[in-house]
Chain A
Amino acid sequence: MSASLTGTAVHSLWTVAAPADKFPAPHIEYAQLSPVLIVFGIAALGVLVEAFVPRKNRYTAQVAVAAVGLAAAFAATVALAEKGYGTTKAHIAAMGAVAVDGPALFLQGTILLVGLVALFTFAERRLDPRAHGSRVDSFAAQGSAIPGSEQEQAAVRAGFTSTEVFPLLMFAIGGMLVFPAANDLLTLFVALEVFSLPLYILCALARRNRLMSQEAAVKYFLLGAFSSAFLLFGIALLYGYAGTVSYAGIASVVDGTAPMTPALADTTGNDALLLIGLAMVAMGLLFKVGAVPFHMWTPDVYQGAPTPVTGFMASATKVAAFGALLRLLYVVLPGMRWDWRPVMWGVAIVTMLAGAVIAVTQTDVKRLLAYSSIAHAGFILAGVIATTPSGISSVLFYLAAYSFVTLGAFAVVTLVRDAGGEATHLSRWAGLGRRSPLVAAVFAVFLLAFAGIPLTSGFAGKFAVFKAASEGGAMPLVIVGVISSAIAAFFYIRVIVLMFFSEPRPDGPTVAVPSALTSTAIALGVAVTLVLGLAPQYFLDLADKAGVFVR
C-alpha cells in the first residue's frame, strides 16, 4: 500500500462523480399514465377521507370518491384509446417502465369496469341484517379486533364498518392497472406487490366466519410471499443474464440483436441463467393466475374471503395476471418460444383437467367456483400458447367475457343467505329455483356461460381461444380443452339440477333482496354475458385492434 494514495483517491476506486447531464430528471408522460395516476390519487384521497371525515359520513364519501375515481380513470382510458395510443401511437412511457399500447389499454379498461362493478358489491349494505340499528356490509366491524373478543363486540355495537376497504380496493386496482402494462421486470414486481398486499388484507376482513377469513388471508399471504420471492429471484437471474430488466433489452439479448459486450458475452454463453430465471418469473405469474400446480391457494382463499372480494379477485386478478403473462411471453421471450411452449402446454393441460376433475367433488359453491376458475385459467392458457396475433386477441376477449360472468356469479352467491350469513354449502341451494326462480335463473345463466353453452359469452370466449390454439398448431390442447369442458359441464349442470329439480328444504336459505348496487352488478353480468354471446363482433374487433404489443 503506497502512502501517496489520498483519501479521495481511495474513494474513487469504487465511486465516480456523476456528471450533471448523465442524471436527468425522469421524463414522465402524465397524460398517458392518467388512468393509473387517477386511481392511485383517489386511493390516497380515500386514506385522507378515512382519517378526517366523521365516521357516519365515511361510507358515503368513500363510495362516492371511489366510484367517481374509477369512472374518471375509465374515461381517461377510453380517451387514450380514442387518441390512438392503442394502435398507431402505442409507445413506452415513463422512461421505459410502462407500456401504453393496445393490450395494456384494453386490459386496463376491463379492470376498471370490473373494479367499478366490484365496488358496487363491496358497498352493498342491504344483505346482512342490521347490526344494532345500523346497516352493515360484508366486512368486519373492525379488522384489528380479535374475533370473539370484547373489543369486537364493542365495535359491532357501535355500528362500525370497515370503510378502509374502499381505499384498499383502489390501491389493488391501481396495482392491477400497472401489472399488465409493466415494461420492465422491476415495475412488474412493484405492481405485483402493490395489488397483492391490499388483497391479503381484504381477504381477512369478512364480517362472518372471521377465523376462516383470516386463515384464508394468512394462506394467501404466505403462498403469495413465496411466489413473490420466486418472481424476484427470477428477475435477478434474468438481470444477471441480460444485464437489464427492461423487456425490450432482455428480448434483444435473447434474440442476439443486442450489441455484444464482454460482460454479456460472459453471461449469455450460459443459458441456465435465462432458463431458470424465465421459469421462476413464469411461476410467479402462474401463481397469480391460479394455474396448476400453483393453484393450491385458490379454493381456500376463495372460500374464506368475503364474497365480494372473492368475486373481485377471481376476475380482476386474473385479467391483470394474464395480461402480464402475455406481455412477458410475447414481448420478452418470443425468441424462447420453443423452450417455454412445451412447458406451458403441460401446465395448460394439467390445469384444465385438474380444475375440472377436482371441481366435480366440491360441495361448497365458492370452492366450486374456485376450481372452475382454475379450469378456466387452463382454457385461457391454451389461447396464450397459440403465439399468434389471434392468440392475444382471443385471450383479451376471454378475459373480458369471463370476468363479468365471475363477478355476477359471486354477486348471486352473496344473496343466498341463512342465519349464519351466506349459505354456500351446495345442499342448501336445493330447490332455490322454486323459491326464487329469478335468482336461480340468473345463476343458471352464469353457470351455462361458465360451461360454454352457445349463445353465451362463455362459448364465444372458449371458441375464440380454441380457434387460436388450433391455428397455432395446438390441436391436442383443443381436444383436451373440449374434454375438460365436458367434465366441467357436469358440475355446472349439477348445480342447476339442484336448484331446479330438487324439492326446497323447509329450513332452506332465504334470498335477500339486494339494493340497487348488487342488482346493478348482477344485471350487468347478465347483460354482458348475453351481449358477448349473441353479438360479440364489436368486442372481438376491439380485441383484435388491441392485440399488438409495443416493444
Chain B
Amino acid sequence: MSFPLLTVTAVVPAAGAVITAAVPAARKTAAKYTALLFSLATLVLAIVALVRFDPDGDRYQLTESHAWIKDFGLRYELGVDGIAVTLIALTALLIPFVMLAGWHDADPLEDTNRRWRPTQGFFALILLVEAMVVLSFEATDVFLFYIFFEAMLIPMYFLIGGFGDRAHAGGEEEAARQRSYAAVKFLLYNLAGGLIMLAAVIGLYTVTADQLGTGTFSLQEILAARGAGKLDIATDTERWLFLGFFFAFAVKAPLWPLHTWLPNAMGESTAPVAVLITAVVDKVGTFAMLRFCLQLFPDASKWATPVILVLAVISIIYGALLAVGQRDIKRLIAYASVSHFGFIILGIFAMTSQGQSGATLYMVNHGISTAALMLVAGFLITRRGSRLIADFGGVQKVAPVLAGTFLIGGLATLSLPGLAPFVSEFLVLVGTFSRYPVLGIIATLGIVLAALYVLVLYQRTMTGPVKAGIEGMADLKARELLVVAPLIALLLFLGVYPKPITDIVNPSVHHTLSDVHKTDPKPALEAKK
C-alpha cells in the first residue's frame, strides 16, 4: 500500500487541533506556535500532493479506499482531481496567514479563569476546520463528503460565536448578542441545507440499492455503473436529488437568495475568521457543485441551468449593489463576496471549458484576494476600534503601507488587469458569453459596480483629511507585513502567469464537461451556417 498522502494531509491539522487544545492555559504563545507549525506542515503536505499530481494522468489520483460503515454503504474513499488538489493547496496556504493575522485576536482580556482557554480553543478550532475542509475536498464518496461538509459547521460555529469582533459600535453586550445571532444564523442556514442534502443522499442510496443490488455512495462506482448503462436514474428522481444537493451547496456558496447569513457571519466574526468563512469554507460549496451536482446528475444539471444562471447573475448584481450601499467595511466585503460567488456559479453552470476553468481559477483567486483585503481591513479595524467607514479618513497619510496594501487588495477585488482575479473573471465572462451572451453582458455590470464599491471605500477611508481617532494610527507591523506581502506577491504572480494552475485544472474541467455531455459552442460565425 502506498503512502496515504491525502489522509495524512487531513490528519496532521486534526492532530494539531488536539495538541493545541491540550496546551496548558498559561502557555498561550506555545499554543500559537504549535498551531502554526501544524498548519505549515499541512501546507508542505498539500504542496507535495500538488507536485505528485499528474495533470495528464487518471482523473482521480492519490486514491485511498477502505470500508467504513458497511451497513450504510459508506466507504472511506479519497481522491483528488486537479480542481480538488488546487483548492486543498489554497486552503493549506491561507490557514497560516489566517493564524498569523489573528495572532492576538483570541488573547483573553484578563487572566482570571484558569480553565477558560480561548487562545488554545481559537487555534485548535481553525485547525479542525482546516482538517474537515481538506477532507471534504478529498472525499470521493458522497456520504463521506456529506459527513465532513456537515461536521465542519460545528467548529466554524464556535469560531464565529465565540470569538467575535471586539470593535463594535453597540458596546460589549450588543456585540455578544449580534455575534451569537450571526453564529446561529450561520449554523441554521447551513444545517438546514445539509439536512435537505441528507434526504437526497438517502434517496441516492435507495436508487443505487434498487438498481445495482447494493447501495453505494462511491462517486467512481456510480459513474462507472452509469457509463456501463447499469444505472439509470429516472428523470424526476434525478431532478429531486439534484435539487437536494444543489440547495445545500447554494446555501454554502452562497447564492442569492440564500446568502443572507454571510454578511452577518462575516460582519460579526473577526477578520481572520471571516476569511476562513469566505475564502475557505464557502469554496466547498462551489467545489461540490462541480464535483457532485454535475457529475452525479448531469441531465438534471442541464435542466436546472437556466434558473441557476439567472440566480447567479442576480447574485452578482445584487451583491455588488448592496456592497455599494454598506457603511460597515466587513459587511461591504461580505456583499462583494456574494457578488463574486455569483461569478463562480455562473462560470460553473455556463458549461463551457473557459467558464469552468475560470470558475476554478476564480475560487483560488477570490480566496487570495479576499484574504488580502479582509485581513488588511481587519488590521485597520483593530487599530481604530470601529468597523464603520465613516469613522475613517486620511489613513494613507499616517499609515501609507497599510493604505497601499489595502488598495492592492481592493484592486484585486475589482479585477484590475495584471492582478490574478482579472484572469478568472475574464475567463468566466468569455465562457458565459459564448453560450449566453445576454447574461454575459449583464454580469459585466458587476465589474463596473465592483470598481465603484472598492474605490469609494478606498476614497472614504484612506484619502481626505485625517479624521479624529486616526492621527496616531500605527503602520503595518512586521507580523502583519508577513501576512500581507506573500498574498500580494501571489496576486501579482498569478495575474501575470496563471498557467501553473490552469494546467492542473483544465483536464479535470474537460472530464466534468464530458460528464454532462457538453462541448464548447462553436464560434458564432460557424454556428450560423
Contacts and interface: CB of A to CB of B under 8 A. Distances in A.
B287 to A, nearest CB: 18
Interface string A478-497: 11011101100110011001
A339 interface: no
A536 interface: yes
Contacts of A467: 72, 202, 205-206
B115 interface: yes
A256 to B, nearest CB: 31
B126 interface: no
Interface string B169-201: 000000010011001100110011001101100
Interface string A434-470: 1111100000000010010111000110011011001
B501 interface: no
Contacts of B147: 454-455, 459
13 contacts: A434-B116, A437-B115, A453-B151, A454-B151, A466-B198, A470-B203, A475-B206, A497-B184, A501-B183, A535-B69, A536-B71, A540-B71, A541-B71
Contact of A536 (B69, B116, B150, B151): B69
B70 interface: yes
A478 B196 CA distance: 10
A244 interface: no
A184 interface: no
A362 interface: no
A255 interface: no
A493 B191 CA distance: 11
Given A454-B146, A475-B203, A460 B151 contact: no
Contacts of B191: 451, 486, 489, 493
A271 interface: no
Contacts of A481: 199
Contacts of A479: 199
B170 to A, nearest CB: 15
B184 A494 contact: yes
A513 to B, nearest CB: 13
Contacts of B71: 464, 536-537, 540-541, 544
A500 interface: yes
A486 B197 CA distance: 12
A29 interface: no
Interface of A: 434-438, 448, 451, 453-455, 459-460, 463-464, 466-467, 470-471, 475, 478-479, 481-483, 485-486, 489-490, 493-494, 497, 500-503, 535-537, 540-541, 544
B26 interface: no
B176 A503 contact: yes
B205 A436 contact: no
A453 B154 contact: yes
Contact of B72 (A463, A485, A490): A463
Contacts of A482: 195-196, 198-199
Given A466-B202, A501-B180, A541-B71, 12 more contacts: A435-B115, A451-B191, A455-B147, A460-B72, A467-B72, A478-B202, A481-B199, A482-B195, A489-B191, A490-B188, A497-B183, A536-B71
Contacts of B162: 500-501
A471 B151 contact: no
A548 B186 CA distance: 43
Interface of B: 68-72, 113, 115-117, 146-148, 150-151, 153-154, 157-158, 161-162, 176, 179-180, 183-184, 187-188, 191-192, 195-196, 198-199, 202-203, 205-206, 209
A483 B197 CA distance: 11
B395 to A, nearest CB: 32
Residue with the greatest number of chain A CB neighbours at <10 A, chosen from B116, B148, B187, B199: B199
B202 A470 contact: yes
Nearest to A438: B115
Nearest 5 A-B pairs (CB), nearest first? A454-B147, A482-B195, A540-B71, A486-B192, A501-B180
> Chain A at the B interface: mostly helix, strand, loop or mixed?
helix
A501 B148 CA distance: 24
B107 to A, nearest CB: 16
Residue with the greatest number of chain A CB neighbours at <10 A, chosen from B70, B115, B117, B202: B202
A58 to B, nearest CB: 38
A66 B206 CA distance: 46
Given A448-B154, A478-B202, A485 B116 contact: no
Nearest to A500: B162
Given A453-B154, A464-B72, A544-B71, A502 B205 contact: no
A489 B188 contact: yes
A544 B72 CA distance: 12
Contacts of A454: 146-148, 150-151
A501 B199 contact: no
B176 A501 contact: yes
Residue with the greatest number of chain A CB neighbours at <10 A, chosen from B161, B195, B206: B195
Contacts of B161: 497, 500-501
> Chain B at the A interface: mostly helix, strand, loop or mixed?
helix
B118 to A, nearest CB: 9
B69 A460 contact: yes
A535 B68 CA distance: 7
A92 to B, nearest CB: 29
Nearest to B240: A475
A205 B196 CA distance: 44
A347 B188 CA distance: 26
A483 B194 CA distance: 10
A470 B176 contact: no
B253 to A, nearest CB: 19
A463 to B, nearest CB: 6
A82 B221 CA distance: 37
B146 A434 contact: no
A435 B184 CA distance: 22
Contacts of A470: 202-203, 205-206
Nearest to B72: A463
Contacts of A544: 71
Contacts of A500: 158, 161-162
A159 B153 CA distance: 50
A437 B199 contact: no
A434 B113 contact: yes
B339 to A, nearest CB: 28
B195 A483 contact: yes
Nearest to B179: A501
B150 A502 contact: no
Given A453-B151, A478-B202, A493 B115 contact: no
A49 B191 CA distance: 53
Contacts of A460: 69, 72
Given A485-B195, A500-B158, A453 B69 contact: no
A430 to B, nearest CB: 11
Contacts of A485: 195
A303 B265 CA distance: 36
B108 to A, nearest CB: 10
A493 B146 contact: no
Nearest to B188: A490
Given A470-B206, A497-B161, A541-B71, A486 B195 contact: yes
A437 B116 contact: yes
Contacts of A459: 147
Nearest to B209: A471
Contacts of B153: 453
B234 to A, nearest CB: 13
B187 to A, nearest CB: 6
A44 B28 CA distance: 58
A436 B115 CA distance: 7
Contact of B151 (A455, A466, A503): A455
Contacts of B157: 493
A486 B247 CA distance: 14
Residue with the greatest number of chain A CB neighbours at <10 A, chosen from B184, B188, B198, B206: B198
Contacts of B195: 482-483, 485-486, 489
Residue with the greatest number of chain B CB neighbours at <10 A, chosen from A435, A493, A537: A493
B197 to A, nearest CB: 9
A352 to B, nearest CB: 12
Nearest to A475: B203
